Amino acid sequence: MADPLGGPSAVPDLPTLAVPGRPQGAPVLPSPPVDAVISIQNLTKSFGSHTVLRDITFDVPRGAITAVLGPSGTGKSVLLKVIIGLLKPDNGGVYIDGELMSGLSQKDLFRIRRKFGVLFQDGALFGSMNLYENIAFPLREHTRKNEGDIRKIVHQNAELVGLMDHLRKLPGEVSGGMKKRAGLARALVLDPEIVLFDEPDSGLDPVRVAFLDELVLDVQRETGATIFIITHNISSVMRTADHLGMLYQSRLVRFAPKDEMFESHDPVIHQFLNADLAGPIGMDEMAEGNAPRREPAAVGAPSAGE
Ligand SMILES: Nc1ncnc2c1ncn2[C@@H]1O[C@H](COP(=O)(O)OP(=O)(O)OP(=O)(O)O)[C@@H](O)[C@H]1O
Ligand SMILES: [Mg+2]
């Protein structure tokens, strides 16, 4: 398929675009225009012969909570890594406030990354640093704050995630859930405009997940940040998300406001959001590869326009 962006390598010096989220020359989407802080356009990413993401296009609305769902192995974490510029797309691209990530110099990439707070799926803590130092790391990396200010910010965020009594421990000495919370605190210390969470709730008990959801809502309300969450947790999504995207077999099935997604008759969306055994999604997604979607066993036919 033709690449409307000319491929990432063909546009190294793309200028900053006048209209955030609506890049020049990018295809016009059929949906009404949104103020997109992250605009993903015709994104394709493969590893060898395995195409993990195929022609993905959607806009992440500014100042809202967006969740991306999908069975294991459908490329959710890869999508996040492409968004922050850790992985380069093969085709298409990601625009942050109108700037094409794959066209940026190292200096500009660093500037754009300053906008992000990221919680990776595995927490990605530095094993040799205690939790305090892990949480302080972005402040040391990106700011010139003095030790007193750093301590204040680290303590505020550690308090928020309930880690005040554990700051001197190394990641290897705490539970998976505590690592996750330290990663969360670290993602928030720079007051980021865009917060990306890869499965923030995995490894947490249900009560902590509910607290975490409240925290996410509070952070969004207080800071106006754009929050992008990758998750499997449907009850969490119901509590927090404004918009939902669903990935399946390397494609975006749909991106829409949450209510529309929950009303969807698309068999994949319906099955996933209802945790239904009957439907096209099987136990072993990897084994299915990129096979065509099977007909659902017990759900309605897709409605028009889906
Ligand atoms: N660096 C890499 N090299 C090769 N293959 C990779 C790489 N990173 C991811 N993949 C493959 O891409 C596919 C999607 O991986 P990804 O981690 O994005 O899945 P996911 O949707 O996040 O799954 P989960 O819900 O289990 O976290 C997998 O088949 C994975 O093996
Ligand atoms: Mg993942």
Here the tokens at position 279 are 């439907």
CA nearest 272: which of 292, 244, 250? 244
CA nearest 184: which of 211, 218, 160, 208? 160
Ligand with minimal distance to 287 CA: 1
- pLDDT, residue 263, reads 92
- Quick one: CA torsion of 98, 100, 106, 110, rounded to 10 degrees? 40
Ligand with minimal distance to 232 CA: 1
pTM: 0.79
**Residues within 6 Å of ligand 1 by CB:** 47, 52, 70, 72-78, 121
206: CB partners within 8 A, 6+ apart: none
The burial of 240, by beta-carbon neighbours within 10 Å (0-12 exposed, 13-18 middle, 19 or more buried), is given as: buried
Pocket test for ligand 1, best of 46, 47, 234 (most atoms within 8 A of CB): 47
Diameter of the chain by CA atoms? 61
> What three-state secondary structure class fits 215?
helix
The burial of 55, by beta-carbon neighbours within 10 Å (0-12 exposed, 13-18 middle, 19 or more buried), is given as: middle
- Residue 230 CA: nearest ligand 1 atom is 22
- Per-run averaged pLDDT (10 residues), the chain, 306 residues: 35 34 46 74 94 95 94 91 91 91 86 87 85 95 93 92 91 87 90 90 80 86 91 90 94 94 90 80 54 39 35
- pLDDT, residue 64, reads 95
- Quick one: CA torsion of 217, 219, 224, 225, rounded to 10 degrees? -100
- pLDDT, residue 303, reads 36
Q: What is the pLDDT of residues 120-160, one digit of tens each?
A: 877 788 999 999 999 999 999 888 999 999 999 999 989 88
| Distance of CA 21 from the midpoint of ligand 1 (Å) | 27
- Euclidean distance between CA atoms 237 and 258, whole angstroms: 9
- pLDDT, residue 2, reads 37
> What three-state secondary structure class fits 134?
helix
Provide the angle, in degrees to the nearest 10, between the axes of the packed helices 131-142 and 147-160: 130
- pLDDT, residue 60, reads 95
- pLDDT, residue 184, reads 87
Pocket test for ligand 1, best of 52, 84, 197, 228 (most atoms within 8 A of CB): 52
- Euclidean distance between CA atoms 25 and 103, whole angstroms: 15
Half-sphere exposure of 293 (CA within 13 A, CB side): 20
- Residue 74 CA: nearest ligand 1 atom is 21
Pocket test for ligand 1, best of 43, 77, 121, 272 (most atoms within 8 A of CB): 77
